[in-house]
A and B are shown apart, each in its own frame.
Chain A
């Protein structure tokens, strides 16, 4: 699998798409911090909202505020890139050129899966660096409390890990849909729909009363929210939202892990049995 992974990374490093996606992440996280800072400057210092905002923009809160922003933008990037990693091979017909060079179909898809996971890591790490940079700027200008707080480094690293883990099901979903349909658009469309519409669906189900009580805990977004909320542990503020009736962390991690495993398993099963005929499909 290593030669195939090397080849994937060689090609990815020469594509504009990952650079553009990371630039968008960079810009959006930076702009949002700038926006928060601007709001902070225009409001009254005695206002509780402005006080909350000051708390959220300090360095220690990057693991909460910053990583929540990184997740929101980064998950979109990850869905787009993962869909493109698989779907473009079918669209360009290069699957017919590449597959005969692969030791096995499993090795080829494994290389693509690892590449997508590496991009998840790069996305979260890059976003975290940008958030730290923006927060450091605001902290310096506004003379906010410096430092990461007690166990700050460990908590920040754990938060980065949780954010990466929370993004993996979306990458796996995009991988499965694109492998199944051979279409970049389908992978992006379904991935983004699940990312953005799950919350809406939960609201609709909530309106039905107790009938669907257990459904939200079995979906992706509620479990992701659990992990993102855990990023803010030890901080006074909670940018990612209240705990409400979120599932416990261990269960959230288990559910998200199961989703990822099932999506990847289906993708492998489909890719293993598929005939690659004219035009790549």
Chain B
């Protein structure tokens, strides 16, 4: 895995200076009257892990399908390394590795032969590369067993190995830890940042928001096919950041009145006997001084951030569970 071919670019990627690997411009897909993806603009850079989030049926898999050439866009463009992706499909067969939804392989072939068959189709890779990948995903012992005898976790591991077969510049992982035991999930969580450090761009679609928060540099959240939020994980979790003040119960009302007078303070609420103030975390000292001048003394001022899960749920809260448009799309198509 660590062949050193790619320079470490994760830092650059986080700073937004690494080259853009994949860009979608106004990407749209309609299935009849259903708009599955609606004018989506995304950018994935070399050396970054880009989280792609959205509720079921929000258009994630349709977007990935369009990037992989499985689904024809109705409108918009996909660029890879600055050029139209459709015009460089041959190069893309080796430069993009992906698993989309559940992994699918030939049931009558062994895990090793499945990788061989895919490598042949993509123009061939050395046999030792297949050995390395089987070792990496912990399948070496079962490499000779037929795929149909594999557990869900083993199938998922083989799927991850197949994405890395040609050492692609862009790795697309759709729910990569699905079916893995906790140890397996942890291995994959460690593998993903490693790929980014080697210079691969990683597009990670996942429902496991804790996982995304741990490994992604930037995320995009889509809902009903539309991009509703994009930014670094830090930006998103600080979007609803607040300060929590610990004060005697009798002082809460007066303290609330004092801090509300400060110009940078937003909403002030009392939650569970604590004062919750929407304000920049660096203003903690100013708040403390204002309280002290009013004869109020906080025993603690703690900056709090929302989790990515909180942000995600807030942004997508009015999506009803019944609105599963990928399912509609599968039927419509």
Contact = CB atoms under 8 A, between A and B. Distances in A.
Interface of A: 3-4, 6-7, 10-11, 14-16, 92-94, 96-105, 273, 275-281
Nearest to B332: A277
A14 B109 contact: yes
A280 B89 CA distance: 20
A4 B102 CA distance: 23
Contact of A100 (B68, B106, B123): B68
A11 B109 CA distance: 8
Contact of B329 (A6, A97, A105, A278): A278
B120 A10 contact: yes
A103 B89 CA distance: 6
Interface in B296-333: 326-327, 329-330, 333
B120 A6 contact: yes
B108 A16 contact: yes
Contact of A14 (B103, B108, B122, B330): B108
- Per DSSP, are chain A's interface residues mostly helix, strand or loop, or mixed? helix
Contact of A96 (B90, B104, B106, B122): B104
A16 to B, nearest CB: 7
A93 B106 CA distance: 9
B61 interface: yes
Contact of B96 (A16, A100, A102, A279): A100
Contact of A7 (B65, B107, B117): B117
Given A281-B330, A281-B333, A96 B100 contact: yes
B100 A10 contact: no
Nearest to A279: B330
A277 B68 contact: no
Given A14-B113, A103-B90, A281-B330, A94 B121 contact: no
B121 A278 contact: no
A15 B329 CA distance: 33
Contacts of B68: 96, 99-100
Interface in B85-126: 89-90, 92-93, 96, 98-109, 113, 116-118, 120-124
B46 interface: no
Contacts of A279: 330
Contacts of A102: 93, 121
Contacts of B116: 10
A94 B330 contact: no
Contact of B122 (A92, A94, A101): A101
Contact of B71 (A6, A94, A98, A276): A276
B177 interface: no
B70 interface: yes
Contacts of B107: 92
A79 to B, nearest CB: 20
Which 10 A/B pairs are nearest by Cβ-Cβ distance?
Answer: A93-B104, A7-B121, A276-B70, A278-B330, A7-B120, A101-B121, A100-B68, A277-B333, A101-B122, A275-B71
A64 to B, nearest CB: 38
B109 A275 contact: no
B69 interface: yes
B17 to A, nearest CB: 29
